[in-house]
Structure 1
Amino acid sequence: MVTIDAMYARLRDSDDGVGILLADLWRLDPGPPPAGPPPARLRQQVAEVVGNIAVHWPQRAMFAGVRTLERLGQITLEHDETYVLAMISALGDRGEAEPRLAAIRADEELRESLLWRVFEVEGGGEVSLANVDKFSHPDAGWSTCLRTLAADGTLPRARLLDACLRALARDFSAYRAGFFSQLYTALAPAPAELDQARLLRLLASGVPATVSFAARHLVAADKAGGLDDPAFVGGAGAALTVPAKGTPLAVLALLDRIQARNPLLANDITAVVALGLEHRHREVQQRALALLRAAGATAEIAERVELLEPTVAREAADWLGASPSTVDQPSVAKPPGASPGTEPLAGPGTKPPGGSGTEQPAGPGTEPAAGPGPQRSVDERVAALLAGETDPFEIERFLADVAAGRVGRDLSGPARRVHRRGDDGSLGYAVAALVLGEPPKARGTLPAERIRELHRLAGPPRTLLATPTDASGWLDPAELVARLAAAPQPPHHDLVAALLRVHPGGRAGALRAAAGLPGEAGAAVRYALGGPPAPIGDRAVWIAAARSRAPLDDDPHLLAAGLGDPGQGRAVDIPLRVTEHRHTYRDGPYTRSVQWSEPDLRTCNGVADQPTVLAVRDWPGPGWIPWLAQTWPHDAEVFCGEALGEMLGAAGTERAYGASAVLDALAVHPGRLGPLAAGVLAAGLTATEIGPRTLAAEAFAAVVPPRRLDPALLAGAMVTLAHHATASRWSSALRASGAAPAVADVLSRALPRLPRDHPGLHALMATLHEESVRAGGVPVSPELRAWLAGFAGSSKAAKTARALLAEPA
């Protein structure tokens, strides 16, 4: 133990900051008050520390020192929200329980008043009760502390229980609200301690976990014989909207018991149970239907038949004596952002992945075609890109405007503001840099190097070769020849980009027109169009020409020159492989482990001007992704291979900021979608966040039904990622796609390759059942039927297997 005077002397005579003082003050000898005045600026320094620890968790008991100084009359602070958050953050220590316990036991004002404000302030980021407890040792967190103090009588138990329920009624996020429901449950209230009025109000919470919490405790009250039946029936309807099935099923079971003992409530109960037919989960619908059938509630069932899952709708229609004609397959719409000309394009040297739709590119000598939406002026286009637009066609037109000298200085003000923000890896920064004539910072990809190349170009206005003539990224062959004839010495990266974009249609006529093009650029263009080989000088140019000439075939000319990597002389044919990793480490007295998955792909030492070679590159920010995906319109595999790590992160615990952009790009890519594209889609369909998962469902509807992506490839990718994925998320995303026949096709191929005890398997089997009924029959497959026949017993999976075998093919 030390004295306050010794602390002050240390603060005056050493380089220790006030934070060091606060961290030690909880050990202060409660002896005599200080002999002299506090150091100058002590209050200001403490207030600065309080502001900092309210945002950043120091993992040490610094706030106990703040309270010590206040109680000794050395400082006075405002007890505002920042003060409360600092208390949450640093009243205790991450690894030791004693500092927080000692501080509360020794401080009457804290016990009686200030402490209870932690139930009123949500916090966020690093500092909240939920986050501090999550990363503290289990016996040192807030929850353990509060339970300890309630058990020994330091804190009133009834007030603690009431404070938890009041906190849950506030508009806190699900993550932070979880602390209070877990604390309340850990306190194990007896039936007599349950505040049914507050618990009933929590049934209408917007946080599903809170609704489940309230329902569990109300069920406990019922088991103890003390439930207020009329009040529960009046509030139970809200609980039937919880997405997970457990809470609605428990509520329906409780309503059934109430009706048995209280027939006067039958009509009210029927009205509530009917809401269960609107739930998305089949088991909830089935349970509600059974209760309504027992009650003879014909009208309530008939009104909701079209909302039911196909198998439940069939059962309801049979009972009603009607035909389940309302159970039709939803129409499959193109996802937002899909534009004309995005279908696979067939032509010489191209192996289209399926489908027959093509759109002819613009003819020779034409301006680039307008993208979706109205035509823009140069200034409008620049303003949109500075504001964050990432449409690749608009970016290409912007580069063409810059090269032609059409971008003036009128937008230098907005460009300067974007440039000052300093996000030098963003697309917006690169656009701003070109407008201002400043050197762009991004590099490492072909799009980034094209911007850097354009900045370096000097001289008169010019026409770029690579500006596409189609919104999907294609370049008309005749237009390429005409541009090269007018400017036979193109910049290096511009030539590479142009060769990769050459449309497979109309090449024969363009080849005849290219006969007189001079130099290596002319020879490479002729080769890309199907002409004869020539000596290889610039490797990147000839690789681009070969990958455009026959994107999915090996190229003998390049192989003879020693360019044998996939994406050079060899076709890109890379199987999907994923490696699971586990890392175990010590955290104080605890052993923790983390698991993650990484793509196990063959990569080469690629460079920016060889974007057809799968390489380990710095993955760009989200704004670059749509443009990067269009670099090689013939094939999406290299793009998907380089995006796969990002997507596996999105399916795990990481927040993958580029996942949505990757899925949007995949949905509209005009070229081949192979095993790596299937891996990207399979990972997206099990993404942790709902946004990317929804986009993955839209991408599925865009690429699988028309067989732009082979269902067998997607099924194989799902099997490869099965141990990394969450089956229930796959299930919900596939059903959200609205493409029942394609979903049934994919699952009928994937399921027989999974073990019968795979976690979450029943969710996928139930999805196969419902989507098969919706599509008109279970896919006929000997492998599937043999796999289904191998289930035995009474598990949900076994029951669903038998139901599937009983369905017509």
Structure 2
Amino acid sequence: MTVIERVRAGDADGVARELAGLSPAQRRECIPELKEVRREVDEEPWLKRDVVQALMVAGAGCHTATAAAAWLCGGPWSRQDDSWDQPALLTVIEDRPPQWRSTLVAALARRRATSWGSKAYLLVEHLVRTTGCEVPTTDGFATRWFLGRTWTYSSHRNAITVATGATLWERLSDDPFVPLLTPRLFDLDEIGSILDGPSNERYPDDWWPTCLIRLAEQGALDRGELIDRCLARLAQGGRTGDQRGFLKLLQTFALTTEERTARARNYLALLDALPFVAAHAQQVLAELDEAGLLPPGLLAEAAAVVLLRTEKKLVRAQLGWLDAAARRDPARSGEVVLAAAHAFSHPDAELQGRALQVTARHLPAAGAAVLPQLREAAELLNPAHAARAGELLGGEPPAPAGAYRELLPPVPPPAPAPGPLESPEEVAEELGAVLAGDPDPTAFERVLDGLVRHAHRDRPALTQALEPVLRAHEWRGTHPVADCTPRAVLHVALAAAGRATPDPLRGGWSTVFGNALASRLEEAADQIRSGRTPFLLATPTSATGALDAATLVDRLATHEAAGLEPGPADLSQALLRTAPTKDAEVSAAADRLGSPAGQRAARWLRSGGLPAQPSTRRRFTPGRGFNDVGGVYDFEDLLLTVVDQPGAGAAEQRDGADDRLAPDFAALVGPLVHSGPRTARYRYRTPTRHWLATLPHHREELAARMLDTFAHTEGRGTALLLPHLVEADGPAGPAVHLALGYGLGARWPEDRTAAVDALLLLAARGDLDGPLLGRELAELLLIGAVKANRLTDALRSAAATGAYGTVWSVLAGALPQLLAPAPFRAAGELLAVAVDCVRRSGARGPIAEVSAAAERGGSNRVVKEARVLREVLAGAPAEG
């Protein structure tokens, strides 16, 4: 048998035997046929595993070293780690000359770190050791070396073990790679977690930090270099887990006083790092200062960095350090008060007050020379501290402010969607972008329309253009427990190319949005097979997903002229995207349509389209239950505020005609009732902008159906949709305001920022109900659905944009519930934000619950801030 016959038979060992008798020229002659076999198996590599592995062996034996590396790393086998553990592959590679193997090692070592598997690394390190070539120091090789030493890789079929020893220390103590690869540790992405696991201080022989220190003690590594590299890595920043590992390494080194003193500026650079790293650096610098070893000027530099951070614990610690420094040495009082003044611009009024206290305590020793700079800094103080700062620092009182003007962002007009894709090549290019994860619904809609449009115009040309994209993207249908997503447009592309289209499009946990999308895709594929549909009706004319009424009428007229009736899913989606029009010419043109679809559209436009539906909010506990695949939902301790809707009546008949939407689209606006564990499924379905584009004129219905996911405030990324939700049309009722409230209390800063943008945009559009949002926020705080510190951060950020009146309207709605009958324990910071908003906006008028809280005994922050708020609402310049 020939090499190719052995490959097609899936006989890897036979391939190795055949290659042994071939000359280099004969091997090169096999390459074109090998590429052809590879193209054949690329579509379904999991069904031809033996052939794939034989191909891997044959390619390694027939190519040059560099080309062999590309072959090994680029085929379907590259993701199958066991394919690298073939005796036949090792036999073929070891049969090549040493120089060939060394070149192969260098080429393989250049792979990305994420592309390596443990068996691939074993093969490469084995070749490094047996050829005596230069040890690679690339990111990929170094990363796999660290992982291999941590967990001990071994090959089962080739009997290759590159590191022996029961513990990490035993594996490292006689490893010749240590001096070369250990310094690379500090350059690799996301490697820090290894330093803090899998063992810890209780198992020093299996813990990287202690092993590295031992290696430094033995002279195999340089202690000073390791410390410097560790400090530099921490200064670069990174993910929390990664940084914790490097900080643990630094702490394990237990630097001496001399080592810390020599690196004081390195520690200074860490004050801008992650909070726990900055806290360590701050402690080290404060100890050096207490010992009199801190270089001159570093105290002021440290304060300039830390006092503008948002972490209150760090700011308080820095103010305490400044206070202690001036107490120890009054001669430093001038430096201290000027450093403390950096906190005058901090967004938290309480911390501003603490800084003012430090200034007041040490100003007599500082002298009058610092007053001009302090007065300039004091201009940034919250108005609540203005009187105190004036008494302390003197100078001219601030000029009376002019009439307050609320600053809200301009409302951008909806961006028009681009026109249809003009060629099959454009369709293929845009399809590749969508399949690669393009989140833009406009791009998806153009691709879907383009597939139908160009399959109708010139299907062979479209098939040819799609071929490279279909080779690069594999699809096996929607997972049984997944939702249909825009990536399923590949189903339509396969239909356009005349290929089999894997089912199903709907998973067992499909949402109503996923079902509607699946219905459109199934219908589009059928329309392509029939070859009669020239284009889709529902392709939006706006980036929001909206469809212009005149455009819909024109499209229907074109279908009618061709004697075609649009698909029910396409027509239903088009109607849901079209708002009624006041243009008499468009209405008249719609009335002239004679087809059933045309008459339906005319009635839709004439009757006002889909009516808005009322929303009913209530508390809801999902409870406990089983899903369709045996998993357990357990939300017995979870309390949500949700919205139920009775259904918009979209399925009803009008004027005696059948105007019912297709079932999957009627479900989008049908009854919504939170009734048990099944409702909680949406918490595990990530909404996308494609959902929003389904109902662009009905944001309340959208918010109600997405609310469970917004309520998952510990998740990441969902609140990024809030600005797009607000840009949609339609009433903004309890569901929209609840979604906004959950977003303002989200865990991740970027989610809260998006919620702030949505809040300001909703206000700018005139659709914000401040008291309603305030009441919802109070409810969410009281049931523990959001945390007060996160919500305070978001509202303070919104106010800082100049929207003090808007934020006050929200807080004025929230405070009565938070203060009565007993004050919410974390209401103090919200009251402080309220004081700032009232002072700046000039709002007036008593709030009974605020006045009652101000009359309570004690001096906790809630009572203190309530007293200040009561006074400023009465128009008095009360002190905070």
- Range of TM-score over shorter length: 0.5 to 0.7
- Greater share of helix residues, 1 or 2? 2
Amino acid at match of 1:708: D
SS in structure 2 opposite 1:634? coil
Matched, 1:422 2:473: yes
Q: Which stretch shifts more, 416-425 or 51-60?
A: 51-60
How many residues were matched structurally?
Answer: 693
Mark the CA change 1:80 to 1:499 in structure 2 (over 3 Å): closer, same or farther: closer
Give the direction of change, closer, same or farther, for the CA distance of 1:269–1:373 in structure 2 (3 Å limit). Answer: farther
Is contact 2:838-2:873 (8 Å) kept?
no
User: CA deviation digits over 1:609-645, x for unaligned, max 9?
Assistant: 63223787889998x9334313223322342244334
Counterpart pick for 1:323 among 395, 398, 408: 398
Q: What SS does the aligned partner of 1:610 have?
A: helix
* Aligned residue number for residue 829 of structure 2: 763
Once the two structures are superposed, residues 681-738 of structure 1 have per-residue CA deviations (whole angstroms, 9 ceiling, x without a partner) of 2232233333332222111101146552433443344345432434322222222233
CA shift in 2, pair 1:395/1:151, >3 Å: closer
Query: Contact (CA 8 Å) 1:51, 1:82: kept in 2 or not?
Result: yes
Work out whether residues 442 and 540 of structure 2, in 8 Å CA contact, stay in contact via their aligned partners in 1: yes
Q: Is the 8 Å Cα contact of residues 682 and 708 (structure 2) preserved in structure 1?
A: no
Pair 1:551 & 2:608 matched:
no
- 2:858 maps to 793
Pair 55,495 (structure 1): closer, same or farther in 2 beyond 3 Å: closer
Instruction: Confirm or deny that 1:607 pairs with 2:672.
Output: no
Aligned with 1:503 (options 579, 582, 588): 579
Matched, 1:731 2:792: yes
**Could you say what secondary structure the match of 1:217 adopts?**
helix
2:751 is matched with: 692
Q: Does the aligned pair in 2 maintain the 1:663–1:696 contact within 8 Å? A: yes
Deviation at 1:491, TM superposition (A): 2.0
Does the 8 Å CA contact 1:636/1:672 hold for their aligned counterparts? yes
Aligned to 2:742: 683
For structure 2, list consecutive stretches of 5 or more residues without a partner in the other structure: 1-80, 83-93, 153-164, 476-483, 507-513, 627-634, 648-661, 673-678, 875-880
- 1:802 maps onto 2:802 in alignment: no
1:121 CA displacement: 3.8
Specify the code of the residue in structure 1 equivalent to 2:143: L
Match of 1:245 among 292, 307, 312: 312
**CA gap 1:292/1:602 in 2 versus in 1, 3 angstroms:** closer
Q: What's 1:776 paired with? A: 842
Contact 1:446–1:609, Cα closer than 8 Å, also in 2: no
Deviates more, 1:440-449 or 1:143-152: 143-152
Residues 386 and 428, structure 1, Cα contact 8 Å, conserved in 2: no
Q: Which structure 2 residues correspond to residues 226-375 of structure 1 after superposition, within 5 A?
A: 226-233=293-300, 236-259=303-326, 262=329, 268-269=335-336, 271-291=338-358, 294=363, 295=366, 296=368, 297-304=370-377, 307-312=380-385, 316=389, 319-323=394-398, 332-334=407-409, 339-340=412-413, 371-372=415-416
Q: 1:600 to 1:114 in 2, by over 3 A?
A: farther
Q: CA deviation at 1:665?
A: 1.7
Cα distance in 2 for partners of 1:305, 1:582 equals 58
Which SS does the other structure have where 1:339 is aligned?
coil
- Larger CA deviation: 678-687 vs 471-480: 471-480
Pairing 1:668–2:741 present: no
Structure 1: unaligned runs, 5 residues or longer:
1-18, 21-38, 343-370, 532-544, 553-570, 584-592
Pairing partner for 2:707 from 644, 666, 689: 644
CA distance in structure 2 between the aligned counterparts of 1:596 and 1:58, rounded to whole angstroms: 41
Does the 8 Å contact 2:307/2:318 carry over to 1?
yes
Q: 1:742 aligns with which of 806, 823, 826?
A: 806
Identical residues among aligned pairs (%): 24
1:668 Cα deviation from its structure 2 partner:
0.4
Q: Please, which of 273, 293, 300 is the counterpart of residue 207 of structure 1? A: 273
1:696 aligned partner, one-letter code: A
The corresponding residue for 2:760 is 701
Q: Are 1:168 and 2:238 matched, yes or no?
A: no
CA contact (8 A) 1:501 1:632 kept: yes
Q: Report the CA distance shift for 1:63/1:672 in structure 2 as closer, same or farther (over 3 A).
A: same
CA shift, 1:396, in A, is 5.6
Task: Choose which of 516, 530, 551 in structure 2 pairs with 1:446.
Answer: 516
- Under a length normalisation based on structure 2, what TM-score does the superposition of the two structures give? 0.62
SS at match of 1:807: helix
* Structure-2 separation of matches of 1:433 and 1:260: 75
Q: Map of 1:397-416 to 2, 5 A cutoff?
A: none
Contact 1:328/1:774 (<8 A) preserved: no
Find the counterpart in structure 2 of residue 753 from structure 1.
817
Tell me the equivalent position of 1:32.
none
- The 3-state SS of whatever aligns with 1:702 is helix
What are the Cα deviations for residues 155-199 of structure 1, in whole angstroms up to 9, with x where unaligned? 89x986984564122324152222233454567667x46612413
- Of 614, 633, 638 in structure 1, the residue corresponding to residue 696 of structure 2 is 633
How many angstroms apart in 2 are the aligned matches of 1:119 and 1:594?
A: 45
The aligned counterpart of 1:356 is: none
Higher-RCO chain (CA-CA 8 Å, sequence separation at least 6): 1
Does residue 85 (structure 1) correspond to residue 152 (structure 2)? The answer is: no
Give 1:804's aligned amino acid: L
Q: Partners in 1 of 2:133 and 2:192 — Cα distance?
A: 26
Distance 1:48 1:715, change over 3 A: farther
Q: Which aligned pairs between 1:454-533 and structure 2 lie closer than 5 A?
A: 454-457=524-527, 458=530, 462=534, 464-466=536-538, 472-475=544-547, 484=556, 487=559, 489-506=565-582, 521=597, 524-525=600-601, 528-529=604-605
- Report the residue type matching 2:722 in the other structure: L
- C-alpha distance in 2 between matches for 1:195 and 1:777: 53
Deviation at 1:746?
A: 1.9
Q: TM-score, normalised by structure 1?
A: 0.67
Following TM superposition, by how much is the alpha carbon of 1:78 offset from its aligned partner in structure 2, in angstroms?
Answer: 4.8
Provide the C-alpha distance between the structure 1 equivalents of 2:167 and 2:572, rounded to a whole number of angstroms.
Answer: 65
Work out whether residues 769 and 800 of structure 1, in 8 Å CA contact, stay in contact via their aligned partners in 2. yes
Partner secondary structure for residue 611 of structure 1: helix
For 2:170, give the aligned amino acid.
A
Aligned residue number for residue 133 of structure 1: 196
Distance of aligned partners of 1:600 and 1:287 in 2 relative to their CA distance in 1, 3 Å threshold: closer
- Once residues 64 and 485 of structure 1 are traced to their aligned partners in structure 2, the CA distance between those partners, rounded to angstroms, is 66
Give the superposition deviation at 1:606.
7.4
Quick one: distance in 2 between partners of 1:172 and 1:721? 34
Describe the shift of the 1:58–1:404 C-alpha distance in structure 2 as closer, same or farther (beyond 3 A): closer
Question: Distance in 1 between the 2:490 and 2:569 partners?
Answer: 17
Q: 1:487 to 1:162 in 2, by over 3 A?
A: closer
The C-alpha deviation readout for 1:310-335, integer Å capped at 9, x for no partner, is 43456546754333657997854437
Paired with 1:287 and 1:762, the residues of 2 have a C-alpha distance of: 16
Provide, for residues 74-126 of structure 1, a one-character-per-residue CA deviation record: whole Å limited to 9, x for no partner.
999556655653454354469xxx95465279549799x579637634442xx
Distance 1:115 1:437, change over 3 A: closer
- 1: distance between equivalents of 2:297 and 2:777? 48
1:714-773: CA deviation from partner (whole Å, max 9, x where unpaired):
334434543243432222222223322222222333344348786854433332232332
